[in-house]
Amino acid sequence: MKGIFTALMCAFDEQGNIHEKGLRQLVRHNIDVSKVDGLYVNGSTGENFLISTEDKKRIFEIVKDEAGDQVKLIAQVGALNIDEAVELAKYATDLGYDSLSAVTPFYYKFDFEEVKDYYNTIINSVDNTMIIYSIPALTGVNMSLEQFGELFENEKIIGVKFTAPDFYLLERLRHAYPEKLIYSGFDEMLLSAAVLNVDGAIGSTFNVNGARARSIFELAQEGKIEEAREIQKVTNDLISGILANGLYQTIKEMLKTQGVEAGVCRKPMKQLSADNVKVAQDLAATFLTK
């Protein structure tokens, strides 16, 4: 369960329906071209919080059918409706997903005991493991070292997707819990996390930049920091261009230049203008090779 995991996108048609052919192409591109170690399915990058429970199940099913056992699969099942989260956890487990993940419950200001009960309720309902998805900038949920430790007391909670710029907390987590899996969640900070000996990374831009992510991670492990820094610089040039143009929409347009029918984003996300599409194509021409 270590290495580079793509936070998988989902292809949708103009009506917002799952574009199955495109989704299968996304899976194949990440496995065959980017050669990632695994896929993180139905996370933020997959527009998870914009789709129905049945669509989430269908995505889990298609990805598992296409990927088989070629790479490790992590199913993000977190939801404000805990009954939905448990239902999805059971569904993904039955499909054979290698682990589950769940974003911390958000919107309402849950206290830590409520957060802890949420995770234990989900993972104790299935015969599987759980990776916490911590992204405080979007959820407003900040957890301390001691609180992570309380969650880790459940042996089925095996790690965390750490999407935060708090490298002090990251180092403390790594030191305190060497047996737990820690994944970096900020693509633009991969090198900084890698030198702290994280176990891998889960990223949106790996859909188009997986090979560079692997190079950064492996070079850092080998102590070749200057070489890794140069690749991180190129990566961040790419990320800056993507963020300025529209994150998910731009990645999808870049994938189209690689022959992947990545579709469009679901509303209320807007579609790119003709000028923005051109920017995405130029980014692909500059940073990607077929």
* Residue 248 belongs to some domain of the structure: no
Q: Is 163 annotated as a binding residue?
A: yes
Please list the ranges in the chain whose pLDDT falls under 50.
Answer: none
Q: Is 185 annotated as a binding residue?
A: yes
Q: Is 204 annotated as a binding residue?
A: yes
Q: Is 187 annotated as a binding residue?
A: yes
* Residue 9 belongs to some domain of the structure: yes
* Residue 257 belongs to some domain of the structure: no
| CATH classification at residue 155 | 3.20.20.70
* Residue 93 belongs to some domain of the structure: yes
Q: Is 125 annotated as a binding residue?
A: no
* Residue 267 belongs to some domain of the structure: no
* Residue 203 belongs to some domain of the structure: yes
d(CA 285, CA 283): 5
pLDDT of residue 119: 98
Q: Is 54 annotated as a binding residue?
A: no
pLDDT of residue 266: 97
* Residue 133 belongs to some domain of the structure: yes
Q: 3-state DSSP call for residue 117?
A: helix
pLDDT of residue 289: 74
pLDDT of residue 281: 98
pLDDT of residue 251: 98
Active site residues: 133, 161
* Residue 34 belongs to some domain of the structure: yes
How many domains is the chain built from? 1
Per residue in 37-52, pLDDT (tens digit) is 999 999 999 999 999 9
Contact 18, 62 (CB under 8 A): yes
Range of the domain at 92: 3-222
To the question of pTM greater than 0.95 for the whole model, the response is yes
Per DSSP, the residues of 199-252 read SEEEESTHHHHHHHHHHHHHHHHTT-HHHHHHHHHHHHHHHHHHHHH-HHHHHH
